[in-house]
């Protein structure tokens, strides 16, 4: 009854609009436009109100236009066949120039074909499925966004929070299925795996939805992408809340088909969505939009008096802008002489075959595609037969409403603020640059995105026996048939699982047979996770680049690399001049030069400075002598054991045979280095290696064993005498565990392994399995003792040189000073003597002056000078008042 009343009311509105158009001006030409919507749906009701207001506003602003749109509104009642029938009726009986609609993607394909046949543009502001392509339907125009436009925003959101898996939940319709291929492709580009797709029929009951949700609860993935109509989504979230799937740990992302209508959903439905994220089309705020919203709210209540209040959505804005674009196009074309051409009649023809063709359709379509203006929804541009990708908001549903947490644009990606450029974004290795989110269960902690359900399957851990059982040994229980694994690799894994923040039940599954360590290569073993045979494989697995194409690896738990094990030879050094080898020629030459320089300096400087020079030189000699003695001793002892091969190129040049561990990737590496296949032999056990090395290449054995460093250390621990390690000759990432691509356990397992390997636990594990490997002194490359160079003692040379040079410099200063002082005193004394002689010559000696004593400067044999008192009568001088220093005047 309610739907019937709505139809009558809308027909009256349609008739009123048409009558107004006719009465407005006798010269205005009527342009008949069909409108096909589901008048009982929320979108249909919102759109009809917006369309009626759009006609009023447009012709109020353009009263002088010569054309008027006359609407013929039809109700599809959500039925595809009825929608097609209404379209045929509009084309045949009303000769409409354009059809606005339909509402559903499933209805659009057939109606668009009708438009193509009749040359009538079909404009839909609700058909978003990518399967409805304007390129294949030339008269179809999408006055909305393609659903594929939002998949990049969804993928960016998932990537921002570090989730590795996601499950799409979508309705089984053209609309629901259309987005999935595009969504999966974009997610895979970001290394996000889609382990399951949940398809819900449009007619699904609450019980059927509950069964599907229960199935999702048994899986590990907790990130869900919901793409369906608002009616089906409402039922889904109500059931999800009832089953406890809106609690902590769950992640729900809703596409814009629902979030664009979230303000019009029932409050109880919105509350059931609390904590979910949603993608929503961004509409710029404006005064015009605010004023229109007020008018729209009033008109909607008039149009739907028995309905609860609803809010204007983006679909209402797009329908409003569509009417403006169509009205402008009709005026530019001037449809006064519109005609429809009948096809050539055929006997027993159907309605489709007799469908008339619009002569003005191509021109009208052209003008519609040229429509570009700023409407209520923002920039409205149909030049690409659909709206261009613009801006999306990411919202967080809270209480009975929502709030923004960020924006997405094709230029800047996901940002917190709309005008925030990439250069001003603040990145964090832990948190995305978005506003805080209140997650399901009112949690503020970012969900991990997966859980291991208590009633789910156990984690299948693939294991295989190793040639070195210290790493991993696998056995089958004879009674229960269960697989048991022990070893360093197993202990590290089990310790890591223990410290995970959640329980992970697991079971070991054997690859090959327990006794056979050569059953299949390690590449085959790792590939099993890609084939879903195992969830994770553990053991002495080297992290290699080629394996990363089909598996993800944890962080390494031990070092790695390829090195050579070769026999050692006795090389007692009988060189006559061995005593010269501890020092390089440069060191010998430098020592001699500094010795001569120091001796010369010591002879030149005065006694107290020469002692400083000698002390520094003795310290220098003490250090150099000790180093010389130690190096010479090392050369006479350590160098007695030297490897028979120092470099892999020697093996290539001599054509020697080399060995490797069967099943290892080392064979491929040796072939890449240039070894012929006939020169490469596989072996299985350490005893096989020992026997082959002891025989040698010429006796059916091998000259060197190419192996990974951890294995070599274990081999040398048991066969210490007679062998040594040379290398590494090739770097590797180390041993780790392999998981299937996109497995969400990867991050947590790696983090737990870092905790294990970085603490005391790893020390205890290594001591348990490999304690004896450090007893051998041959572990590691034997390089021998090298000669000591001048650079090794640069500091000592600088010190002794500085001491000698400083002493010489000080001595020179003292010598210069004395020389200058002596010269000055001589000049003064000579001047005084001259003056005294002049006085004696000019003045006769008088009796009273005969006893006068004079002062005179006297120089002694040792070069010192003193001032003496000379008696003119006795011709003697007393120096420093001491009679013992008297001298006789010569």
Give the model confidence (pLDDT) of 355-397 as tens digits.
888 888 999 999 999 989 999 999 999 999 999 888 999 999 9
Task: Report how far Cα 354 is from the mean position of its chain's Cα atoms.
Answer: 61
Q: Give percent helix, percent strand, percent coil of the chain, each to the nearest 5.
A: 45, 20, 35
pLDDT score recorded for residue 773:
54
* Helices (runs of H) and strands (runs of E) counted in the chain: 25, 34
pLDDT score recorded for residue 396:
97
pLDDT score recorded for residue 8:
45
Q: 424-433, 786-795, 829-838: which has the minimum mean pLDDT?
A: 424-433
Residue 217 has pLDDT above 70, yes or no: yes
Most distant CA pair in the chain: distance in Å?
Answer: 180
Digit-coded pLDDT (tens) for 25-43: 456 789 999 999 999 999 9
292 pLDDT band, cuts 50/70/90, is: very high
pLDDT score recorded for residue 297:
94
DSSP 3-state of 12: helix
pTM of the model: 0.65
303 pLDDT band, cuts 50/70/90, is: very high
Contacts with 264 (C-beta within 8 Å, 6 or more apart), sequence order: 42, 46, 310, 311, 313
Q: How far apart are the first and last CA of the chain?
A: 157
Residue 322 has pLDDT above 80, yes or no: yes
More confident residue, 245 or 838: 245
**Mean pLDDT across the chain:** 83
Q: Which residues, in sequence order, are bridge partners of residue 708?
A: 562
**Mean pLDDT on 197-220:** 92
- Nearest residue to 580 via CA among 641, 635, 623, 638: 635
Cβ atoms of 110 and 47 within 8 Å: the answer is: no
Digit-coded pLDDT (tens) for 689-736: 999 998 988 888 999 999 988 888 888 888 877 888 887 888 888 899
Could you say which DSSP state residue 103 is in?
A: S
Q: How many CB atoms lie within 10 A of CB 513?
A: 12
Cβ atoms of 764 and 488 within 8 Å: the answer is: no
- Helical packing angle, 314-333 and 361-369, nearest 10°: 130
pLDDT score recorded for residue 301:
93
Contacts with 665 (C-beta within 8 Å, 6 or more apart), sequence order: 521, 522, 523, 542, 544
Distance CA(787)–CA(635), nearest Å, equals 9
% residues pLDDT > 90 (the chain): 47
pLDDT score recorded for residue 358:
86
Digit-coded pLDDT (tens) for 465-495: 888 888 999 998 888 888 999 999 999 999 9
Q: Which residues, in sequence order, are bridge partners of residue 558?
A: 735
pLDDT score recorded for residue 161:
92
Q: Which residues, in sequence order, are bridge partners of residue 170?
A: 199, 227
Contacts with 529 (C-beta within 8 Å, 6 or more apart), sequence order: 462, 535, 536, 537, 550, 551, 738, 739, 740, 743
DSSP 3-state of 849: helix
Digit-coded pLDDT (tens) for 89-133: 999 999 999 999 999 999 999 999 999 999 999 999 999 999 888
Residue 344 has pLDDT above 90, yes or no: no
Cβ atoms of 504 and 497 within 8 Å: the answer is: yes
DSSP 3-state of 50: helix
Tokens 């002689």 locate to 837
More confident residue, 741 or 144: 144
Digit-coded pLDDT (tens) for 397-419: 999 999 999 999 988 899 998 87
More confident residue, 87 or 728: 87
More confident residue, 655 or 324: 324
Distance CA(684)–CA(687), nearest Å, equals 8
Residue 431 has pLDDT above 80, yes or no: no
Residue 17 has pLDDT above 50, yes or no: no
Cβ atoms of 659 and 681 within 8 Å: the answer is: yes
Residue 153 has pLDDT above 50, yes or no: yes
pLDDT score recorded for residue 631:
79
pLDDT score recorded for residue 698:
86
Q: Are strands 854-859 and 723-730 parallel, antiparallel or unpaired?
A: unpaired
For 163-179, b/e burial (b = at least 16 CB within 10 A) is bbbbbbbbbebbbbbbb
Distance CA(606)–CA(397), nearest Å, equals 93
Cβ atoms of 249 and 223 within 8 Å: the answer is: no
For 520-539, b/e burial (b = at least 16 CB within 10 A) is eebbebbbbbbeeebbbbbb
What is the dihedral angle through the alpha carbons of 345, 351, 353, 359, rounded to the nearest 10 degrees? Answer: 90
Distance CA(680)–CA(659), nearest Å, equals 6
């Amino acid at each position: 009854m309610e739907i019937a009343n709505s139809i009558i009311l809308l027909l009256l509105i349609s008739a009123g609009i048409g009558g107004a158009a006719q009465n407005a001006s006798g010269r205005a030409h009527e342009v008949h436009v069909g409108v096909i919507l589901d008048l009982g749906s929320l979108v249909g009701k919102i759109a009809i109100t917006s369309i009626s207001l759009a006609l009023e506003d447009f012709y109020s602003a353009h009263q002088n236009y010569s054309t008027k749109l006359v609407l013929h509104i039809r109700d599809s009642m959500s039925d595809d066949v009825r929608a097609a029938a209404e379209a045929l009726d509009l084309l045949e009986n009303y000769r409409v120039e354009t059809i606005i609609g339909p509402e559903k993607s499933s209805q659009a394909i057939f109606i668009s074909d009708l438009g193509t046949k009749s040359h009538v543009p079909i404009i839909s502001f609700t058909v978003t499925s990518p399967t409805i392509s304007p390129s294949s339907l030339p008269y179809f125009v999408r006055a909305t966004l393609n659903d594929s436009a939002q998949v990049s925003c969804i993928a960016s959101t998932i990537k921002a929070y570090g989730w590795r898996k996601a499950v799409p939940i979508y309705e089984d319709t053209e609309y629901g299925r259309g987005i999935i291929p595009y969504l999966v492709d974009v997610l895979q580009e970001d290394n996000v795996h889609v382990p399951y797709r949940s398809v819900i029929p449009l007619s699904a009951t609450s019980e059927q939805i509950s069964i599907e949700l229960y199935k999702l609860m048994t899986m590990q993935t907790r990130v869900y992408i919901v793409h369906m109509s608002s009616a089906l989504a409402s039922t889904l979230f109500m059931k999800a809340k009832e089953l406890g799937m809106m609690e902590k740990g769950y992640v729900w992302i809703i596409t814009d088909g629902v979030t664009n209508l979230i303000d019009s959903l029932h409050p109880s439905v919105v509350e059931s969505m609390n904590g979910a994220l949603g993608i929503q089309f961004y509409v710029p705020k404006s005064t015009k939009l605010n004023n229109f919203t007020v008018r729209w709210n009033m008109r909607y209540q008039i149009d739907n008096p028995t309905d609860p209040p609803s809010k204007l959505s983006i679909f209402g804005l797009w329908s409003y802008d569509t009417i403006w674009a169509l009205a402008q196009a009709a005026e530019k074309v001037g449809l006064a002489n519109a005609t429809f051409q009948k096809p050539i009649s055929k006997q027993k023809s159907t309605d489709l075959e007799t469908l008339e063709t619009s002569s003005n359709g191509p021109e009208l379509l052209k003008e519609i595609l040229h429509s570009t203006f700023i409407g209520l929804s923002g920039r409205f541009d149909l030049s690409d037969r659909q709206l261009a990708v613009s801006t999306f908001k990411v919202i967080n549903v809270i209480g009975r409403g929502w709030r923004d947490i960020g924006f997405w644009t094709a230029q800047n990606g996901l940002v917190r603020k709309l005008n925030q450029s990439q250069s001003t974004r603040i990145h964090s290795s832990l948190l995305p640059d978005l506003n805080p989110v209140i997650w399901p269960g009112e949690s503020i902690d970012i969900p991990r995105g997966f859980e291991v359900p208590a009633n789910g399957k156990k984690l299948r851990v693939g294991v295989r026996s190793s040639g070195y059982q210290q790493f991993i040994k696998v056995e089958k229980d004879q009674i229960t048939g269960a697989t048991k694994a022990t070893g360093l690799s197993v202990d590290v894994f089990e310790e890591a699982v223990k410290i995970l923040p959640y329980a992970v039940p697991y079971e070991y599954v054997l690859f090959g047979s327990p006794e056979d360590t050569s059953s299949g290569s390690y590449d085959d073993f790792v590939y099993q996770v890609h084939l879903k045979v195992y969830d994770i494989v553990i053991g002495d697995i080297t992290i290699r680049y080629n394996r990363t194409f089909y598996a993800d690896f944890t962080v390494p738990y031990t070092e790695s690399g390829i090195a050579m094990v070769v026999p050692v030879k006795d090389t007692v050094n009988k060189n006559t001049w061995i005593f010269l080898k501890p020092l390089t020629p440069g060191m010998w030459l430098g020592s001699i030069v500094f010795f001569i320089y120091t001796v010369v300096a010591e002879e030149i400087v005065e006694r107290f400075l020469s002692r400083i020079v000698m002390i520094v030189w003795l310290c220098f000699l003490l250090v150099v002598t000790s180093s010389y003695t130690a190096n010479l001793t090392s050369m006479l002892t350590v160098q007695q054991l030297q490897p028979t091969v120092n470099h892999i190129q020697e093996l290539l040049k001599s054509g020697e045979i080399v060995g490797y561990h069967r099943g290892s990737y080392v064979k491929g590496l040796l072939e890449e280095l240039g070894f012929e296949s006939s020169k490469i032999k596989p072996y299985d056990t350490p005893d096989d290696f020992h026997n082959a090395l002891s025989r040698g290449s010429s006796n059916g054995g091998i000259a060197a064993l190419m192996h990974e460093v951890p294995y070599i250390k274990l081999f040398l621990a048991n066969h210490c005498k007679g062998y040594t390690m040379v290398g590494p000759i090739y770097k590797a990432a180390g041993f780790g565990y392999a998981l299937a691509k996109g497995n969400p356990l990867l991050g947590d397992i790696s983090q737990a392994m870092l905790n294990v390997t970085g603490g005391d636990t790893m020390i205890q594990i290594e001591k348990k399995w490999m304690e004896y490997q450090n007893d051998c002194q041959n572990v590691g490359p034997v390089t021998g003792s090298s000669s000591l160079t001048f650079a090794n003692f640069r500091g000592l040379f600088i010190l002794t040189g500085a001491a000698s040079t400083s002493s010489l410099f000080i001595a020179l200063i003292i010598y210069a000073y004395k020389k200058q002082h002596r010269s000055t005193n001589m000049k003064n004394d000579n001047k005084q003597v001259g003056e005294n002689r002049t006085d004696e010559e000019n003045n006769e000696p008088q009796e009273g002056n005969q006893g006068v004593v004079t002062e005179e400067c006297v120089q002694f044999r040792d070069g010192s000078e003193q001032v003496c008192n000379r008696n003119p009568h006795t011709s003697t001088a007393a120096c420093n008042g001491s009679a013992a220093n008297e001298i006789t005047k010569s």
